[in-house]
Chain A
Amino acid sequence: SQQGEEDPQALSIQEGENATMNCSYKTSINNLQWYRQNSGRGLVHLILIRSNEREKHSGRLRVTLDTSKKSSSLLITASRAADTASYFCATLSSGNTPLVFGKGTRLSVIA
Chain B
Amino acid sequence: NAGVMQNPRHLVRRRGQEARLRCSPMKGHSHVYWYRQLPEEGLKFMVYLQKENIIDESGMPKERFSAEFPKEGPSILRIQQVVRGDSAAYFCASSPPGTGTDTQYFGPGTRLTVL
Let me know if A98 and B108 touch, CB within 8 A.
no
A12–chain B nearest beta-carbon distance, Å: 16
B69–chain A nearest beta-carbon distance, Å: 14
Q: Which residue of B lies closest to A4 (CB)?
A: B42
Which residues of chain A come closer than 8 Å to B109, judged between CB atoms?
A: 41-42
Given A41-B108, A42-B91, A43-B106: A99 touches B45 (CB 8 Å cut-off)? yes
Which residues of chain B come closer than 8 Å to A110, judged between CB atoms?
A: none
Asked if B107 is at the interface (CB within 8 A of a chain A CB), the reply is: yes
A49–chain B nearest beta-carbon distance, Å: 11
Q: Which residue of A lies closest to B9 (CB)?
A: A42
Which residues of chain B come closer than 8 Å to A42, judged between CB atoms?
A: 91, 106-109
Let me know if A103 and B100 touch, CB within 8 A.
no
Interface of A is mostly: loop
Let me know if B42 and A101 touch, CB within 8 A.
yes
Which residues of chain A come closer than 8 Å to B59, judged between CB atoms?
A: 98
Which residues of chain B come closer than 8 Å to A48, judged between CB atoms?
A: 102-103
Let me know if A96 and B42 touch, CB within 8 A.
no
Given A2-B44, A101-B43: A96 touches B100 (CB 8 Å cut-off)? yes
Asked if A31 is at the interface (CB within 8 A of a chain B CB), the reply is: yes
Given A42-B91, A88-B42: A99 touches B104 (CB 8 Å cut-off)? yes
B107–chain A nearest beta-carbon distance, Å: 7
Q: Which 4 A-B pairs have the closest CB atoms?
A: A95-B100, A101-B42, A98-B45, A42-B108
Residue numbers of B with Cβ under 8 A of A are: 31, 33, 35, 40-45, 48, 56, 59, 91, 93, 95, 99-109, 111
